[in-house]
Amino acid sequence: MLRKLSRPLLCIPFIAAALIPFALAANAQSTPDPAPALRDLAEQNHIHIGAAVYSDHLLDPQFNQVLSREFNMLTPENEAKFCWLQPNEGKFDFSKFDQLVAFAQANNMEIHGHNLVWHQCLPDWVAQGKFTRDQALQVLHDHIFTVLGRYRGRVAIWDVVNEAMSDSGSGLRDTPWRDMIGDDYVEMAFRFAHEADPDALLFYNDYSGEAMTGKANAIYDMVQDFVKRGVPINGVGLQSHFTLGGVNEASISQNIKRLGALGLQVQITEMDDRFDGAPTPAILQEQANDYAQLMQACLENSNCTAFITWGVSDNYTWLRGTNLGFFKNPLVEPLLFDDHYQPKPAYQALVDVLTKHAG
Ligand code: XIL
């Protein structure tokens, strides 16, 4: 039986550290109790709250402070992807991911590793490689064994395969891995990962499969088949890159529930909420409602174990990036903290939902 990341998250050193300020505060009567951070409220609800982090942003002290105060899980935004870890055949570069791992450990944060197999961020030596099936399986095996071997015991969860399903849900998308290995590349990646680190929780991660869509059905069918045949999988990541007003709580909750009935965990892995043009108070309020609905759908299901946002503060969101022709908006503010690290209505909405649910 694979180890499950049980919803109760009780980390003794963290609790001890958390009690110290209260012990001190008892003597200094004028110091008001600080408002609980998201990570405290998440812990009361037995879930993790996480953020994707780009290692360069750790140099920004304000960013650093908000990240460690508010979140107890960290996802490397890019640093654990194939093209960062093994840019040349057999030559690994762990330096950037190591920085994130060290930060997470120093701040009692779990790490949600992202990702081992994806059709993007593939170095040319793989994407253009003319490998036979056996050679490609060897490349996949060696990458997974090297990475999971190094981070064994430090990275609790891995997105083993990312975005393998076609948007229509009609089958697997065409990728270099599928071309070289065949449709079973997905399950082979899970089998290698389980061999490499039997304690890691292994996730399949994708977008547009949050609610009960055709793509969600295709993902469900795939993971159900894996469970039936004993392919080692522990959970499904719902990316959750939403557009304003796009969160359907009831439908997402139904999807999380049916995955739970298969014995699988679910994590909200990449939440952000975009909109066109400049923000207004009404837009930010609607965004807060989207965040609240999604958190609600998670809390309603005991198999939903984490809620991760794709970034900490709006200033660094990928959605303002220059390489995102399809939904790039330089004015977008999709996250919980604004450009100046101030909490937004969406932050308050999560505080309210988590507080109410814990009570
Ligand atoms: C994105 C990063 O945020 C960008 O910095 C990078 O340029 C491209 O990848 N789904 C995923 C993530 O699974 O890995 C993507 O991250 C966002 C969409």
What is the share, in percent, of the chain residues with pLDDT greater than 70? Answer: 90
SS3 159: strand
Distances (CA, A) of 100 to 26, 52, 186: 35, 10, 27
268 bridge partner residues: 238, 307
Residue 16: predicted pLDDT:
39
Confidence band for 32, pLDDT divided at 50, 70 and 90: low
DSSP state of 4: P
- Pick from 37, 106, 39, 35: which is nearest to 72 by CA? 39
Residue 14: predicted pLDDT:
36
Q: How far apart are the first and last CA of the chain?
A: 33
The one-letter amino acid at 1 = M
Question: What HEC string does 299-324 produce?
Answer: HCCCCEEEEEECCCEHHHCHHHCCCC
CA atoms within 13 A on the CB side of 232: 23
Ligand 1, from 236, 240, 310: best to mutate by most atoms within 8 Å of Cβ? 310
Phi and psi at 304, nearest 5°, equal -90, 110
Residue 37: predicted pLDDT:
97
Residue 323: predicted pLDDT:
72
Helix (H) and strand (E) counts for the chain? 13, 9
Annotated active-site residue 77? The verdict is no
Q: Which CATH architecture has domain 39-358?
A: Alpha-Beta Barrel (3.20)
Q: How far apart are CA 218 and CA 90, in angstroms?
A: 35
Provide the b/e sequence for 269-279 (b: ≥16 CB within 10 Å): bbbbbbbeeeb
The one-letter amino acid at 286 = E
Q: What is the chain's mean pLDDT, rounded?
A: 92
Please tell me the distance between residue 253's alpha carbon and the centre of ligand 1 in angstroms.
25
Query: Is ligand 1 within 6 A of the CB of residue 318?
Result: yes
Confidence band for 169, pLDDT divided at 50, 70 and 90: confident
Options 43, 79, 163, 249, the catalytic residue: 163
Please tell me the distance between residue 121's alpha carbon and the centre of ligand 1 in angstroms.
9
Cβ–Cβ under 8 Å, residues 350 and 38? yes
Query: Is ligand 1 within 6 A of the CB of residue 291?
Result: no
Query: Is ligand 1 within 6 A of the CB of residue 272?
Result: no
Measured from the CA of 241, which atom of ligand 1 is nearest? 18
Residue 2 pLDDT > 80, yes or no?
no
Please tell me the distance between residue 286's alpha carbon and the centre of ligand 1 in angstroms.
24
Residue 19: predicted pLDDT:
39
Confidence band for 49, pLDDT divided at 50, 70 and 90: very high
> Rounded mean pLDDT of 144-173?
97
> Rounded mean pLDDT of 50-73?
97
The one-letter amino acid at 216 = A
Measured from the CA of 205, which atom of ligand 1 is nearest? 13
Residue 13 pLDDT > 80, yes or no?
no
Residue 328: predicted pLDDT:
83
Annotated active-site residue 163? The verdict is yes
Query: Is ligand 1 within 6 A of the CB of residue 337?
Result: no
> What ranges in 249-302 are assigned the alpha helix state H?
249-261, 281-299
Cβ–Cβ under 8 Å, residues 63 and 57? yes
Question: pLDDT, tens digit, for every residue of 74-90?
Answer: 999 999 999 999 999 99
Query: Is ligand 1 within 6 A of the CB of residue 77?
Result: yes
Q: How far apart are CA 256 and CA 205, in angstroms?
A: 13
Residue 34: predicted pLDDT:
75
Query: Is ligand 1 within 6 A of the CB of residue 86?
Result: no
161 bridge partner residues: 117, 204
Question: pLDDT, tens digit, for every residue of 215-266?
Answer: 999 999 999 999 999 999 999 999 999 999 999 999 999 999 999 999 999 9
Residue 12 pLDDT > 60, yes or no?
no
SS3 144: helix
- Pick from 77, 32, 33, 86: which is nearest to 51 by CA? 77
Residue nearest ligand 1's atom 12 by CA? 77
Find the range with the poorest average confidence among 97-106, 153-162, 313-322, 344-353: 313-322
Confidence band for 325, pLDDT divided at 50, 70 and 90: low
> Rounded mean pLDDT of 98-119?
98
Query: Is ligand 1 within 6 A of the CB of residue 78?
Result: yes
